[in-house]
Each structure stands twice: as C-alpha cells, then as structure tokens.
Amino acid sequence: MNKTNIKKVALVAFEGISAFHLSVPCLVFQDALNQLQQRFELKICSLSTNEIASGSGFNVVVNHDISILDGADIIIVPSWPNALPKPSTELIDKLVLAHQRGAILVGLCLGAFVIAETGLLDGKTATTHWAFTEQFTQRFPNVGFDSEPLYIDQGQLLTSAGIAASLDCCLHLIRRLCGSDIANQLARVMVTAPFRTGGQKQYIPSPVPKRPEQATSLTQVIDQVEQSINQTHSLDSLAKKCAMSRRTFTRQFKSVYGCTFSLWILNQRLKLSQQLLESHDEPISKVAELSGFGSESAYRKQFKIAFRISPSQWRSQFSGSKNPKRVAGEQRQSELLS
C-alpha cells in the first residue's frame, strides 16, 4: 500500500487508564489489522508525562504528547476517569481544530464525555456506558442521548457504550473505512463476532421498584403475585383482594411501584424468562409458558422489544446450560439470522 494512503490514528492516554481500554484500539488499528494489510499508523500520546500509570498495576511509556493530534486523521479517546474531570482547554481546542480539518473523533466508553465537551455533539445523538446515563444527560442537555446502542456513528463523530463495546465501535469504523471483507477478516483474526446484535439494552439491569417499609394490603397482594407470576392476574381480581375499586388500586399501585400494573408484571415475567433461559434447557415455548406469557409468539415479540434480541440469542450469549450442543446450535442459528 502507498504510504500516503495510510491513515494516522492518535490515541489519547491518561493517568490511570484501563489497560483494556488502551489496548482495544491498538489491537484493531495496529496489531491485528497489520496481519492483513497495513492501512493505519497508530501513535499513543499522553496528556501529561511520558510515563503514565495504568489502572491495571503497571506503567506505560508514551513517546508522544498531544501535539500529534494536529496531524491525525482519526483521534480516539478510549475512555476517561470515572470521576469525569473536565478535559484541558488545550485538548478541547485540538479536538475542535482536528474536526474542522476533517478528522474523525471517537469517544469510546467514557471518552464520549470528552467529545461532548467540545460542543461538537450538540444537536446530535451520542451514547456511553449505561451506568453514566444520568451524568451525561445532566452535563450535556444539548446532546441527544441514547443508552441502547453499542455505538453511534455521526460521520466525523463516533461514541460507544462501555468496555467491550469499544471493540464493536472500532470494528464498525474499520468496516466503514476499509469495507466489510476486511472487517470480517479482522474479526476472525481476533476470534470475535464481526457484528453483535441486541445493543446495550440487554446488559442494563431492570430497575427494581423500592418497596415501602410498612406492609399494606396492596404490597401483600403483590407479594403473592410475585410467587405466582406465571398465572393470570386481572386488575379486577387484585383490586378485590385489596378491598379497593379498580380505579383506586390502579392509582395506589402506580404511586407505590412507579408504573402501571401491566408494565410491572410484564417486566417481572421477562426477568423470570431471562433466568430460565440462562439456567434451564427448556424449549422456548416452555419458557414462555413458565413465565406466564399467553403464547410463544407473544413472548418472543415482547422479549425482542425489550432487549433487541431473541430469546434464543439471549440463551446463546448468557446461558450456563449443561447442554452445550443446544447452546452451540442456537448460537449458530443466531449468527445466521443476524
């Protein structure tokens, strides 16, 4: 390949950076990719000193300062400290200037906070690790935030969800710049999926409503429902057990649990089905029945809406099943469908 066609990648490191976060772009844009064909020249720069302490117990020698950002085609901020300090004015200025001359800016995991600090994401949509949703939305009200995708591509600006999603984002950028064939070959070299389905939503734990300290007729009845979640429960029958009208029951339930009863019981059934998929080898139809869904088709539809993947794909990704043949078969089927 002509030397002039090689894109320059600058990786911004900082004190206490996770070794994993630092290594993912190095693996994708340098180590693994160069086994196929050299297309990128990656350099790591430091915000402060030439030697930084990683968060993994060893030091990293960095040969460049952030002046290399001035000539980079791609600038990657692979993460950021959990305390979310504001980036230096010098770094922000260099990122803005790089964007103006056409460079691609990538914020992996909490690195999305750094890209957002430039103001370049205002009016656009971004993502980051789901656990930092509140901090991001409060800090950047002019940025549309979506906690579900593994990454979001806004042309010159890319952001990704946490940890392993950095790999998905980097592979996506390779696919965009070099084509699907190279991206797929690269994924094979790294023994990873070229594209993961489902998004970040499947990893976000369902919120657990805070239970009132003092038991009431309502909470006692709902405790009984939790023990028989697979059975049919109508609002009228539950209201009668609480000695309430349907309207009063609905109002009090929402006041205590923060949502409607129908949404609450759907989430409870989905949560139970996840546990069954992960720990049992029952067919999907049986999982639907044990979870209280009226039919397998209704269950599959609700599961896909909630988690963006099918029950079979969930099982293949998270199952600890003792039947490896079933898990492997479902995984192969999921790969064909994705």
* pLDDT digit string, tens, across residues 140-187: 999 999 988 889 999 999 999 988 889 989 999 998 888 888 888 888
pLDDT class of 333 with cuts at 50, 70, 90: very low
Distance CA 163, CA 110 (A): 9
Strands 7-13 and 74-77: parallel
Where a domain ends, among 203, 229, 256? 203
User: What is the torsional sign of CA 56, 59, 63, 65?
Assistant: positive
**Across 208-227, average pLDDT:** 76
Sheet with 40-46: strands ordered across: 64-65, 40-46, 7-13, 74-77, 104-107, 157-160, 151-153
Mean pLDDT of the chain: 84
Tell me, yes or no, whether 143 lies in a domain: yes
**197 and 224 share a domain?**
no
**148 and 231 share a domain?**
no
Residue 31 has pLDDT above 80, yes or no: no
**151 and 59 share a domain?**
yes
**Across 21-38, average pLDDT:** 79
Tell me, yes or no, whether 260 lies in a domain: yes
Q: What DSSP designation does 29 have?
A: I
pLDDT at 253: 87
**28 and 174 share a domain?**
yes
pTM: 0.66
Give the count of domains, the chain. Answer: 2
**152 and 96 share a domain?**
yes
Where a domain ends, among 144, 170, 203? 203
Tell me, yes or no, whether 209 lies in a domain: no
332 vs 79, more confident: 79
Residue type, position 175, single letter: R
**291 and 188 share a domain?**
no
Residue 304 has pLDDT above 90, yes or no: no
CB 126 within 8 A of CB 139: no
Going by C-alpha positions, the residue among 78, 71, 157 that lies closest to residue 121 is 157
Tell me, yes or no, whether 145 lies in a domain: yes
Burial group, residue 7, by CB count within 10 angstroms (0-12, 13-18, 19+)? middle
**160 and 41 share a domain?**
yes
pLDDT class of 14 with cuts at 50, 70, 90: very high
243 vs 38, more confident: 243
Tell me, yes or no, whether 246 lies in a domain: yes
**130 and 45 share a domain?**
yes
100 vs 295, more confident: 100
Whichever domain contains 142, its CATH number is 3.40.50.880
**17 and 141 share a domain?**
yes
Whichever domain contains 323, its CATH number is 1.10.10.60
> What pLDDT digit, counting tens, does each position of 48-67 carry?
778 888 888 888 889 899 99
Distance CA 279, CA 281 (A): 7
Name the strand (E) or helix (H) holding 125: strand 125-126
**301 and 179 share a domain?**
no
**Across 292-310, average pLDDT:** 87
Cβ neighbours of 177 (radius 10 Å): 15
**53 and 125 share a domain?**
yes
Going by C-alpha positions, the residue among 228, 219, 198, 202 that lies closest to residue 291 is 228
Note down the domain range covering 333: 217-337
> What pLDDT digit, counting tens, does each position of 202-217 carry?
555 555 555 556 678 8
Residue 77 has pLDDT above 50, yes or no: yes
Which range, of 21-35, 188-202, 230-244, averages the lowest pLDDT? 188-202
**154 and 25 share a domain?**
yes
Residue type, position 167, single letter: L
Where a domain ends, among 203, 229, 264? 203
